[in-house]
Structure 1
Amino acid sequence: MIDLLLHNVKSLHCDSLLDVGIENGKIVYLSHSKSEVPNSKQIIEGNGNVLLPGLVESHIHLDKAFLLDKMNEDATNLNEAIKLTAQLKQGFTKEDIRERSLKVLKRCVDYGVTHMRCHVEVDPIIQMKSMEVHLELKEQLKDLIDIQIVVFPQEGIFKQKGTADLMRESLIMGADVVGGIPYNDRDPIEHLNFVYQLANEFGKPLDFHVDFSDDPNQLAILDIIKLTHLYQMEGRVAVGHLTSLGSVEHEKARQIASKMAKEDIHVFSLPATDLYLNGRGDTERVRRGLTPVKLLLEEGVNVLYGTNNIRNPFTPFGTGNPLDIALLLAHSAQMGTFDDAKILLEMTTYGAARALGLTSYGIEIGKDADLVLFDSKDIRNVLLDRPKRLCVWKKGKEIGTDSIRSLIKVN
């Protein structure tokens, strides 16, 4: 007997309605809906509403969220945002980091996020405070959300003595991914060589902040392509921002995209931040400040999107809802067709899951029953309306408001 049957639901990859059976936290039954259903302990009538795998927040900074009330000034460019945040970090405590991170996590879980990759800063300023907090949150909230932790050297590795040792310590403690930010260190090549060697030593994937500017000559992505091939890390490297590529001459950008696809390098577009901080030097024909999403897709690159920051010097906006970012990207990348809507939903589900290396994800028999049912019978309207979530399941267990509050005690 099946524990739970979701009857008459619409999915992203099937034109007809489906029945989805769940047992012991796994999807065990999948069939086109019919009048006779398998024997089940509980049946939930989907009424033709859209069922997606749990949403994936692929790139977010929890430890820097909700800083607006701590700021005495606003940042108007990337360098100012980095400088102001470094100043604010001097006052961070573990309790403060935990409270602000939980505030974001509650919102994300409410919105149907079941998997997340967050960048956690380590440096001589914050030391291991944030890493310790997020390793604790990862364990505490594992029944609500799976959290991947990227050890992230925001202030650079070599221009901040001791950061390399903190990164190594973080990986020993349990960080999942090695992060990098070559444009904020004394030598980008030195930075890249170190993080590839570290990832290779610990057997971890890589996730970079890279080429975050409008400068077509800032192309660390070329070195990342070479090193990914050298270290045989195809499919295990992701890059965020990559906005410089949007200013590169079209055919050259296409050639670079083709090389990225060959090495299966994933790209996280971060439109809430990229649109806000980029293009500020243009007085006419102001650039959109995004990575060239459509061109990358045409060349076969796995392109995704992330929230990045929420209400801080880098991004004074944000709700924690990935579909808000999807709609923003739809506008700014001119992705307004029905097929585009499906692609954008694919980005925050199956595409993001592939980038994060999730092997038990999706609406397939044998996969974890991480699911979200929307109050919409139309795939396109899931993007356009960002409708209410009728129900969210984590490994077959319903995640309701009470269960969130019991584990996430924040206002």
Structure 2
Amino acid sequence: MSVIPGAQLHGIAGVHLYGAPAGRLVDITVDGTTVAGVLPHDPARVPAATSDENWLDLHGYTMFPAAADPHAHLDKALSHDLVNPPAGDLDGAIASWVKAADGFTEEDILDRARRAAWLMLAQGTTAVRTHVDVYPSDDSSLSSAAFRGIRALTRLREELAGLMTLQIVALVPAHTPDDQVTALTGGALDAERTSSAVPRTLPGTRWPRPMPCWMSPRPVAWAVTCTPTISSPVLPVTAH
């Protein structure tokens, strides 16, 4: 049974919740966009569930919590045909990406990331941590173009507010000189702050903030160290 497009969903009848004992069913009532109640299934409560187009009869189905993706690269999403990386060659694939990325604009990145995020939402993923490249150039590692990916994903985070929690991690390229790491991570934080529709006047004003990450050749090649640069207990430390 499916709800008529545009109709207001009133509830879901007879569904099994993940983790509940087998055979224990519930009825879920909905008020607008909010779950109003989760009650033991009672056929008398929703006698019209099998005929009312505002109810879903989900007997035989199990509901799961929304999924979370702790490691995504939305700035690289849907780019295979544009990058054309060699199969089975990680270094070659990275080199192909770096070369192709020179031609990607902020709008290009936003468009692909948006399409990928909506595909994830359609499959039930509502929280994503995305590592986003910064693009230092030979002439000016702190040029505005270096942070176009951060700006694009910040815009997407604002677009999807209320639908998806999007955490941005600034990913600095491998073997970046130490004196540029601090500048690039600081620039990424500034790019996120200035491109956001919501003012950030204090550290932690709005979570999630971008975390800086950089590829470190020490002690293991391609290890990535991610550390928060602002004082906040909610910013995690992650491994790449």
Corresponding residue of 2:140:
none
2:186 pairs with 165, 168, 176, which one? 168
- SS at structure 2 position matched to 1:58: strand
1:51 aligns with 2:70: no
CA deviation map 1:293-342 (0-9, x unaligned): xxxxxxxxxxxxxxxxxxxxxxxxxxxxxxxxxxxxxxxxxxxxxxxxxx
- SS at structure 2 position matched to 1:201: coil
Query: 1:199–1:205: 8 Å Cα contact kept in structure 2?
Result: no
1:207 aligns with 2:238: yes
Q: Which amino acid in 2 is paired with 1:117? A: R
Query: 1:117–1:150: 8 Å Cα contact kept in structure 2?
Result: yes
Query: 2:12–2:55: 8 Å Cα contact kept in structure 1?
Result: yes
Deviation at 1:188, TM superposition (A): 4.2
2:42 pairs with 34, 49, 56, which one? 34
Corresponding residue of 2:90:
78
Gaps of 5+ in 1: 210-411
Corresponding residue of 1:112:
124
1:131 aligns with 2:143: no
Work out the CA distance in 2 between the residues paired with 1:160 and 1:90: 23
Work out the CA distance in 2 between the residues paired with 1:202 and 1:156: 26
TM-score by length of 2: 0.69
Q: Which amino acid in 1 is paired with 2:238? A: D
Work out the CA distance in 1 between the residues paired with 2:86 and 2:218: 28
For residues 199-238 of structure 1, the aligned pairs below 5 Å read 199=229, 201-203=231-233, 204-209=235-240
Between structure 1 and structure 2, the one with the greater Rg is: 2
For residues 245-264 of structure 1, the aligned pairs below 5 Å read none
- SS at structure 1 position matched to 2:103: coil
The percent of aligned pairs where both chains have the same amino acid is: 22
Deviation at 1:96, TM superposition (A): 1.3
Are residues 57 and 199 of structure 1, via their aligned partners in 2, closer, same or farther at CA, if it must alter by over 3 Å?
Answer: same
- SS at structure 2 position matched to 1:152: strand
Q: Which stretches of structure 1, 4 residues or longer, exceed 6 Å deviation after superposition? A: 191-194
How many residue pairs match? The answer is 202
2:25 pairs with 2, 17, 22, which one? 17
Corresponding residue of 1:146:
165
CA deviation map 1:263-316 (0-9, x unaligned): xxxxxxxxxxxxxxxxxxxxxxxxxxxxxxxxxxxxxxxxxxxxxxxxxxxxxx
1:96 aligns with 2:108: yes
Q: Which amino acid in 2 is paired with 1:98? A: L
Query: 2:75–2:109: 8 Å Cα contact kept in structure 1?
Result: yes
Query: 2:26–2:38: 8 Å Cα contact kept in structure 1?
Result: yes
Work out the CA distance in 2 between the residues paired with 1:194 and 1:117: 15
Are residues 207 and 193 of structure 1, via their aligned partners in 2, closer, same or farther at CA, if it must alter by over 3 Å?
Answer: closer
Corresponding residue of 1:180:
213
Corresponding residue of 2:3:
none
Work out the CA distance in 1 between the residues paired with 2:27 and 2:60: 10
Corresponding residue of 1:64:
76
Gaps of 5+ in 2: 1-8, 47-51, 138-144, 194-207
Are residues 103 and 28 of structure 1, via their aligned partners in 2, closer, same or farther at CA, if it must alter by over 3 Å?
Answer: closer
Query: 1:123–1:163: 8 Å Cα contact kept in structure 2?
Result: no
For residues 321-400 of structure 1, the aligned pairs below 5 Å read none
Are residues 194 and 107 of structure 1, via their aligned partners in 2, closer, same or farther at CA, if it must alter by over 3 Å?
Answer: closer
Are residues 120 and 71 of structure 1, via their aligned partners in 2, closer, same or farther at CA, if it must alter by over 3 Å?
Answer: closer
- SS at structure 2 position matched to 1:134: helix
